[in-house]
Amino acid sequence: MSYFERLGPASFRATRHVSGAWNEAEQHIAPALGLLAHVIESDRDARRDDGLVMARLSYDILGTVPVGPVDTAVEVLRPGRTIELVEAALSHGGRTVVRARAWLMQPRPTAELAGSTLSRIAPPEDTEPWDPTTVWPGGFIESVEVRRTSAGPGRASFWVRTPITLVDDDKVSTLAAAAGLFDIANGMAVRADPQKVAFPNLDLTVHLFAEPRGDWVGFDTSVSFGADGIGLTSTVLHDTSGPIGTMSQVLTVRPGTPEGP
């Protein structure tokens, strides 16, 4: 089972596990974001062997995409010996759907300096299972295991993992697999009923100070709506060792339009 099947060197087909959530005929964009992280890492590994790590992933979501074939492309915008800026695009039928930019940085030993003031959330074993299909339809939401503690509308901490691989027959890093789950944050701490209010995100930006380890991805998430149709989903990301970075998603808030943008 996988979210994408490889069709060629840069082309893939989305499977039924990618469908939803605003429209089940369209892709939930979360796996596509993981796919772009994977193709960036694959391009890096084909060009160099020094293991640059992703410190930032920034995605612009330009539109919806059907559950079907997609193409990818990668370009190095700023080459460097220790730091690179790389851009990747995902398209369908010649139309670009997502653009991603990643800063890749040379790792170096700083264990003696490691630390963070970001608060830890309760580990998955101390967090109650929760069924997200009670709020959202679609194959992607059905494919994930969620454990969640809700503190009210727009506020929750939760853990997510999936038995579904990102790309069939590809070796996928833990980071790319985690990136395929990041976009779920906006739907796990809803501030309003998604059947009555649409609040899809237009972007997603992650800053990481540690690479995720293990299959659980933790989220400490707050959702805010402004008075003029703009919202923000803010998250501290975790693995089971503790916080590893932060994430933000800007929202378009549309009462009465559950079909999304």
- pLDDT for residue 258 is more than 80: no
Q: Which helix (H) or strand (E) holds 203?
A: strand 203-208
Hey, which residues does 217 pair with through a beta bridge?
A: 160
User: Does residue 81 lie within any of the structural domains?
Assistant: yes
Determine the average pLDDT of the residues in 117-135.
Answer: 97
pTM for the full model? 0.96
Average pLDDT taken over every residue of the chain: 96
Determine the average pLDDT of the residues in 49-65.
Answer: 96
User: Does residue 112 lie within any of the structural domains?
Assistant: no
Determine the average pLDDT of the residues in 142-153.
Answer: 97
User: Does residue 70 lie within any of the structural domains?
Assistant: yes
User: Does residue 251 lie within any of the structural domains?
Assistant: yes
User: Does residue 261 lie within any of the structural domains?
Assistant: no
- pLDDT for residue 96 is more than 90: yes
Residues 6+ apart with CB under 8 A from 191: 153, 154, 199, 223, 224, 225, 231
pLDDT band for position 260 (cuts 50, 70, 90): very low
Angle of CA points 225, 180, 142, to nearest 5°: 80
Rounded to whole angstroms, the Cα distance separating 26 from 189 reads 22
Domain residue limits at 214:
2-107+122-255
User: Does residue 68 lie within any of the structural domains?
Assistant: yes
Nearest 10 degrees: CA dihedral of 26, 31, 36, 38? Answer: -150
The dihedrals phi and psi of 181, each to the nearest 5 degrees, come to -110, -15
Q: What does the pLDDT read at residue 256?
A: 81
User: Domain with 73 in it: what CATH number?
Assistant: 2.40.160.210
Determine the average pLDDT of the residues in 235-241.
Answer: 98
User: Does residue 243 lie within any of the structural domains?
Assistant: yes
Cβ-based neighbour number of residue 203 at 10 Å: 15
- pLDDT for residue 211 is more than 90: yes
pLDDT band for position 261 (cuts 50, 70, 90): very low
Domain count, the chain: 1
